[in-house]
Structure formats: structure tokens, C-alpha cells
Amino acid sequence: MLTKTITFEGLEGPITETYLFHITQAQILELNLPYVIEGEEIDPEAPSGMAKALQSIIDTQDNLKIYHEFKKIVLMAVGKKSEDGKRFLKTEEIRQDFENTEAYSELIIELMENPEKAAQFFQGIMPAKVQERAALQTASPDPAALATSIPTPEVDAPVPTPPTAVRAVSQAELGSIDPTELQQGLADGSITIQG
């Protein structure tokens, strides 16, 4: 489980709040299932299907797709400890409450802009058992090496890193870009408008 303190601009000024993020082994499996090809043998040395898909998206520098994948994982991971401390509660209400804050915006922008922090975040939300397995399979005992992998129950896969490239768009191209993509790109700095 990862505890993350985020400072953001609230309606009445700056707010600092602490959020909890955790992803279960079952959720890791759920994230990987869409990328498993039926009948394909799983190679324990190869990256997981999800990691391959994310790396493919990152290689094409499609920031909108990267954003959607990060959003899916962040909202899947956010939750709260139960009062007795035995369970990690994740409800639609908790997800919506978080998504409707600027804390969510700050976190997503941080992950999109900083590959090292993204790697640390994704490593930190993994179950301890999966982190331990990744540590044992890591050639170097260096914690930085552990932070560069997204472990899965079946496979330890490298964390894809978001691109740092900025797409310059001319005035003429503005009409051909999806408005949502343009808005997000302008907000996260991945798109700039030329002269």
C-alpha cells in the first residue's frame, strides 16, 4: 500500500491531504487479462501483456492513451482503510470523491511528467508479496532497480515511462484534433500551439 500526501488548490485555498493507494493481485490479473492471447504460453522472463501494451502506447507517444491507462490504474488503486484496519475499501463513491479533487489532477500530471515518480508510484501500490517476488528476481538489490518494474502474479515486467516529447500543433491542425485530446494535451503540456 502506498500513502501519498498531495497538496492542491481547493475552492478556498491550498489543501494538503493524504490518500491511500493499493492494488491487489487479482486486480493485477484483471489489468493483464485483456492483453493475454488465448492459447499463448506465458514466458516468465517476458514482460506482461499490460506492460507490453503500455510500452507500445508510450513508444508511439500517444499521451491521450497513456493518460487513460494511468487514470484507470490510479482510480482502481485509490481507497481507504476500514475502521478495523483489516480491509482496504474501494468504492465508486471513494473513486469519484478522489477524481473530483484537484489532488487527482496533481497526481496524474505528476505521473505523466515524471517517469521516475510514475515508476515509484506503480511499484508502491503493488502488494508486498508481489514486491518481494520482484525484489528476489531483480539482479541488483538496489531499490531503484525494483522501482523500475511492474510486477504481476505471473511475470515481473518493466514499468513503461511516459514520453517527454511535446507535440507542436499549428493553427491549421487545431480543427483536426479531438477536443478532449487537445484540452488534456494543453493542460499537461504535451501539446503546444505554434504561432
Q: What pLDDT, in 10s, does the model give residues 24-45?
A: 888 887 777 766 655 555 444 4
Q: Are 51 and 159 contacting, i.e. CB atoms less than 8 angstroms apart?
A: yes
pLDDT of residue 35: 61
pLDDT of residue 167: 74
> Mean pLDDT score of the chain, rounded to an integer?
75
C-alpha cell at 139: 539482479
Exposed e or buried b for every residue in 65-103, given b needs 16+ CB within 10 A? bbbebbeebbbbbbbeeeeeeeebebeeebbeebeebbb
97 versus 186: the higher-pLDDT residue is 97
Give residue 6's pLDDT band: very low, low, confident or very high (50, 70, 90).
Answer: very high
Strands 191-193 and 167-169: parallel
Task: Give Cα separations from 38 to 33, 46, 49 (angstroms).
Answer: 10, 17, 12
C-alpha cell at 173: 491542425
Q: What pLDDT, in 10s, does the model give residues 94-152?
A: 999 999 999 999 999 999 888 889 888 988 898 888 777 766 655 444 444 444 444 44
- Domain ranges across the chain: 2-163, 165-195
